[in-house]
Amino acid sequence: MNRLKLAASLLALTIAAPALAQVQPVGATAPTAQGGANGVVLLRDPTDPKKSVIAASAELAGLEFYGLDGQRIASVPGGEVEAVDAREDGARAILAVLDSQSGGLRLFARDYASGQVSALNAKPLALGYSGEGLCLHRSARDGALYAFAMGRDGQLDQWLLYPTESGQMDGRVVRRLRLSSEAKFCVADDATGALYVAQQAVGIWRYDADPEAEPVPTIVDINRLGHIAGEVGGLAIVDGGAGANYLVAANTDAGDFNVYDRSAGDKFLGSFKAGAIENPSALFGLRAPVGASLPAGALLIADDRKQGAHSQILSWADIAASLKLPTGVDAPATPKSKVALVHATMETVPVDHDGDAADDPAIWVHPTDPSKSAIIGTDKKGGLAVYDLSGQRLQFLPDGKMNNVDLRGGFKLSGKTVTLIAASDRTHKSIALYTIDPQTRLLSNVADGVQPTNLSDPYGLCMYQDRKGGTFVFVGDPDGLVRQWKLIATPAGKVKAQAVRDMRFDTQTEGCVADDQTGALYVAEEDVALWRLGADAKAGSAKTAVARIADNPALKDDLEGIGLYAQAGGKGFLVVSSQGNNTYAVFRREGDNAYVGSFAVTADGSKTIDGISETDGLDVTSAPLGAGLEGGAFVAQDGRNISPPEHQNFKLVPWSVIAEKLKL
């Protein structure tokens, strides 16, 4: 009896369920000349939308072009084209296709005015696996063009595509993601940097399209347990601005199309059916008028039917009306980033240990030959390294898990004036102490035995030298305690540390820097603020907030490394790692430390040096370091050394480039 009641209830629900809206196509392309319909894109002519064309993959027939009336107007034969995507590039469109015959990516340019299509590949871009699909992404932050290529076994590679001196385009892999099973369709939103991937047997994932971002996906919808009946197919974005920004997905097994609200965390809004489509494949969305029949843009659906494969053209205005959705505005503008963009010109060899190993650098300036200056960097899984300015490693000391490092010159030891290097040693919970030989640029341990910190975990570290010549070191632990020691030379030529002050913060600190001329100490409380205190041992614990994360949109926790670019007359700049958004905030050294702007270090395709992300430690110097570095340099730890994927390292940017971009 209970089973009968349950069956009756289910039947009642089925009967009561409203029928899905049926949206009829306003046009269709001619069938492909040979092969299926797996990819489609609309190339909207920015000067005359009526002259826009549709580009579609036609497998063995290559890449085909159609007018808005659906008639074939041109084709590019060769290979076996499985997928296509495009981005506007001034007076032309750049197209990327997946050629399964050559096993790689092919690049083309189509001139809007003449309709001429030209090949752009500077060299073959081989995937190294059986490719299934691709999509393009144009970064709103730096304008870089990326291609995401997907494979039969769950591969998901991100390629940086960049112009060559000859006017062609080259590419290289900058990030490798991995899915548990096949994915064939993806779409990226240039405005927000969101990447959506349709993993056929699982559902829809959302990633951050920035190659330097954390590669952690968010599930948007899931097969059978969500609003997807079985396999998920093509994806499209139709962006009408705030409140009208949508993701469309082919709900393949159900034979309909799901719409999600991208302005509300990809909330499911409803579904619709589209004409007599037999086998929906790729989708393409555009929210901009394209002629009288497409006043609010279009949704293209590749129908990969066995006979007469082609693409259907639907009006987005019709789809929105069927679901009672606002269409929004035409082609909403993408806000320009206020972050200045620079490239690294040098990177060190990777550290020996994998995972989160490299942490903090310190720049040592050679006393007579600036070109022989060096970078001292920590490997918090094993020791301390010294690199020359070309990035080659000169020395590695496996003395313990060194977290942060700093240095000061002018220290008197055994009748000589030396540069003293201090590092926080987490293995021995101590302060490691070294000097550097200017001739060899090698470090020597000068600690008077183990110098214990009595901290739970010695973490952040920086040094300070007062006007009387006293040299100090600050070390913090994850509990918010920062302890200050005075460094004292012994008659035996060693150095010992004497505790002189404790300062407490509410939460964890790490990055810190002291200004020897002004006597200021700057400490980054990671999730809260950048603080200014007195560096003198008798200054107490009074502190002033230079910048709070909650009050400055340019800052995103964690706040990590801090560097001081000191100039004459008390002028200069503080540089702080804003780890949460992979940028570096710059504040004035003088006055109330006013915020002046932020910069990011992005990939340079031609030099094969990737950007810098998730930075822990950094250092900066105003001292000239030789040719190309006459204005000093900025050095930072790269938390994701992604191109090629290697262990973490340190990267260098000439300060003159940063100063020019920020108009300092």
The mean pLDDT of 24-32, rounded to a whole number, is 94
Residue 26 lies in a domain: yes
The mean pLDDT of 173-184, rounded to a whole number, is 91
CB 431 within 8 A of CB 445: no
| Same domain as 77, residue 132 | yes
The mean pLDDT of 116-136, rounded to a whole number, is 94
Residue 55 lies in a domain: yes
Cα–Cα–Cα angle for 557, 561, 565, rounded to 5 degrees: 125
**β-bridge mates for residue 275, sequence order:** none
Token pair in block for residue 348 = 């060190």
315/295 Cα distance (integer angstroms): 8
| Same domain as 316, residue 358 | no
Q: What is the CATH number of the domain that holds 416?
A: 2.120.10.30
| Same domain as 430, residue 370 | yes
Q: Which residues contact 664 (CB under 8 A, 6 or more apart)?
A: 573, 586, 596, 658
What is the percent of the chain with per-residue pLDDT over 90, rounded to a whole number?
84
Q: Count up the domains in the chain and report the number.
A: 2
| Same domain as 463, residue 381 | yes
Token pair in block for residue 568 = 């004459």
Residue 335 lies in a domain: no
Q: 99: helix, coil or strand?
A: strand
Supply the range of the domain harboring residue 559: 340-662
Count of Cβ atoms closer than 10 Å to residue 649 Cβ = 21
| Same domain as 416, residue 561 | yes
**β-bridge mates for residue 236, sequence order:** 248
The pTM assigned to this predicted structure is 0.85
What is the percent of the chain with per-residue pLDDT over 70, rounded to a whole number?
97
pLDDT at residue 34 in the model: 85
pLDDT at residue 18 in the model: 58
Half-sphere exposure of 208 (CA within 13 A, CB side): 9
| Same domain as 654, residue 555 | yes
Token pair in block for residue 573 = 């700049």
Residue 378 lies in a domain: yes
Residue 11 lies in a domain: no
Q: How far is CA 39 from the centre of its chain?
A: 27
Please give the backbone phi and psi of residue 66, each rounded to the nearest 5 degrees, phi first: -130, 150
Residue 225 lies in a domain: yes
Residue 660 DSSP label: H
| Same domain as 318, residue 346 | no
Judge whether residue 11 has pLDDT over 80: no
| Domain-ending residue, one of 273, 289, 322 | 322
Q: How far is CA 60 from the centre of its chain?
A: 36
| Same domain as 318, residue 243 | yes
Q: Which value, in Å, is the radius of gyration of the alpha carbons in the chain?
A: 29
| Same domain as 404, residue 299 | no
Residue 192 lies in a domain: yes
| Same domain as 292, residue 370 | no
Instruction: Output the 3-class SS for 441-462.
Output: CCEEECECCCCECCCCCCCCEE
pLDDT at residue 10 in the model: 33
| Same domain as 312, residue 393 | no
| Same domain as 651, residue 535 | yes
pLDDT at residue 16 in the model: 40
CB 55 within 8 A of CB 321: no
Q: pLDDT for 435-472, tens place per residue?
A: 999 999 999 999 999 999 999 999 999 999 999 999 99
| Domain-ending residue, one of 277, 296, 322 | 322
Q: pLDDT for 598-629, tens place per residue?
A: 999 998 877 788 899 999 999 999 999 999 99
Interior/surface letters 81-91, b for 16+ CB within 10 angstroms, e for the rest: bbbbbbbeeee
What single letter denotes the amino acid at residue 375? I
Residue 28 lies in a domain: yes
| Domain-ending residue, one of 255, 289, 322 | 322
Q: pLDDT for 450-460, tens place per residue?
A: 999 999 999 99
pLDDT at residue 8 in the model: 39
The two counts, helices (H) then strands (E), for the chain are 3, 51
